[in-house]
Amino acid sequence: MARLLIYASLGLNIFVLVPVCLGLLNKADWTLAAYGPDTAARGILLSVYLAILFVSAGLLFKPVPAMVAALLLVQIIYKFSTPFTVGSFENPVVTANLGIAAFHCITLWAIWRSNGS
């Protein structure tokens, strides 16, 4: 079960981040509503998103559970904190983050459980 969830979480990261990164790189119109104006902060966020995307893609080829768990834990923390740092639960990025974080929690729990901890 953990292995299947690992692939699902990594696949979810890739599925979400490819269009988001392309949109941010191309300065797509929808990114203004979701992420605000094109600023240095958006560039930094894009770098973080690209790092998560590349690590997720690499882990698909060698899904070391401890490495996946570390990636997901960082994502869970930052995604659950976004409503407080943004100051709203209504932003579409915040809403998406909460759903993704909830799914990653299930995967993280399955990894923990499968390692007998």
More confident of the two residues 115 and 8:
8
| Poorest-pLDDT segment among 10-14, 69-73, 85-89 | 85-89
Q: Tell me how far the alpha carbon of residue 4 is from its chain's centroid.
A: 18
Q: How far apart are CA 83 and CA 1, in angstroms?
A: 30
Q: Note the pLDDT of residue 115.
A: 80
Average pLDDT over residues 73-99: 96
Average pLDDT over residues 87-115: 95
* Contact assessment for residue 57 and residue 114, using Cβ atoms and an 8 Å cutoff: no
Q: How far apart are CA 83 and CA 87, in angstroms?
A: 6
Count of structural domains within the chain:
1
| pLDDT of 102 higher than 70 | yes
Q: How far apart are CA 51 and CA 45, in angstroms?
A: 10
Cα three-residue angle 72-55-53, rounded to 5 degrees: 85
Domain that holds residue 15: 2-114
